[in-house]
Amino acid sequence: MRIFIVFMITLFFSAAVHADYTMKNVYRFDNVDMIKNLDDSNILNLTVHGVAEDSNGNKSVSKCLIHVINGVINGNCEGKDQDGDIEYTIVQRDINKGNVGVLTRLGGTGKYANKKSTCEYTVQLTDFKVGVGYLTATCEE
């Protein structure tokens, strides 16, 4: 169960500045920690590091702090692209409903300042023993 929950975490990273773009992201799980709740459900915290590329040619590295309770993923991410511009993103997903989630860019610096976007992401591949995964997303500003 712990591995399945970690799988959902991806959240991640839109690294683009134009409307209607796609993104792909490879990520790894670090600092995974889990406890049981009173109702025997799992509570999980972890760090996710990723590398992303979008259809506009932007490339970024990112770090997310993720919290999972009862299969619901919530997290905050910070990504830095090839120009040094930073974007701040939140990730959400209910893993009980499948491998599709939402990334929402809140804004950032440089080209991301005051620019919001919403991405629907799909986890394509994850290997829990190795601790890595791959996702794709379609995004709109």
Report the CATH number at residue 133: 2.40.160
**Structural domain containing residue 35:** 2-140
Q: Is the pTM of this model over 0.85?
A: no
Give the pLDDT score at 19. Answer: 52
pLDDT tens per residue, range 1-44: 444 444 444 333 333 344 589 999 999 999 999 999 999 989 99
Q: Percent of the chain at pLDDT above 90?
A: 76
Please, what is the average pLDDT of the chain? 88
Of 88, 103, 106, give the one whose Cα is nearest residue 24: 103
Token duo for residue 63: 């770090």
Give the pLDDT score at 127. Answer: 82
**Number of domains within the chain:** 1
Q: How far apart are CA 58 and CA 98, in angstroms?
A: 28
